[in-house]
């Protein structure tokens, strides 16, 4: 696995744990269909939360959340529909969130930023 892929997977796992610690229930990580992949799908009450996770080892290229573009958000909306179709009756509403992870020199230095309703 390439270093970039390892960094991304590590950030997704960290984001999933971070969301769970804040009361969301993670339903899927790296859910795939023919249209693409959703990093994390969680449940916040009766709301299905589709989460895009961006991870970087620093901010030299900008904050990871800067990489969550309108094009990416539109794709996530389509993927949310595909996930709901594959999991009928899971939730009443859908929200798209973004999580940015900046990895520090040690796990204690990692910084997680969460934007609720990024796709609104």
* pLDDT band at residue 1 using 50, 70 and 90 as cut-offs: low
Query: Residue 61 domain-assigned?
Result: yes
Confidence at residue 4, expressed as pLDDT on a 0 to 100 scale: 66
Q: What Cα–Cα distance (Å) separates residue 2 from each residue in 29, 63, 65, 73? A: 19, 21, 22, 25
List, for residues 79-118, the tens digit of each pLDDT value: 999 999 999 888 779 999 999 999 878 888 889 999 999 9
* pLDDT band at residue 8 using 50, 70 and 90 as cut-offs: confident
Count the Cβ atoms, other than its own, within 10 Å of residue 64. Answer: 24
Backbone angles phi, psi at 24, to 5 degrees: -80, 150
List, for residues 34-72, the tens digit of each pLDDT value: 999 999 999 999 899 999 999 998 888 889 999 999 999
Query: Residue 89 domain-assigned?
Result: yes
Confidence at residue 87, expressed as pLDDT on a 0 to 100 scale: 92
* Structural domain harbouring 73: 3-115
Query: Residue 95 domain-assigned?
Result: yes
- Cα distance between residue 23 and residue 1, in whole Å: 31
- If DSSP states are collapsed to H, E and C, what string results for 5-66? HHHHHHHHHHHHHHHHHCCCEEEEEEEEECCEEEEEEEEECCEEEEEEEEEECCCCCCCHHH
Query: Residue 79 domain-assigned?
Result: yes
Query: Residue 120 domain-assigned?
Result: no
Encoded tokens for 75: 């794709």
The total of structural domains in the chain comes to 1
């Amino acid at each position: 696995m390439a270093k970039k892929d390892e960094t991304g997977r590590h950030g997704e796992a960290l984001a999933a744990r971070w969301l769970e610690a804040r009361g969301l229930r993670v339903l899927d990580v790296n859910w795939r269909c023919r249209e693409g992949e959703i990093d994390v799908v969680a449940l916040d009450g009766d709301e299905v939360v589709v989460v895009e996770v961006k991870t970087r080892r620093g901010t030299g290229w900008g904050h990871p959340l800067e990489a969550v573009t309108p094009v990416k958000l539109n794709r996530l909306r389509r993927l949310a529909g595909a996930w709901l179709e594959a999991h009928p009756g899971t939730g009443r509403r859908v929200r798209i969130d973004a999580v940015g992870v900046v990895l520090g020199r040690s796990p204690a230095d990692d910084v997680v930023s969460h934007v609720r309703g990024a796709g609104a």
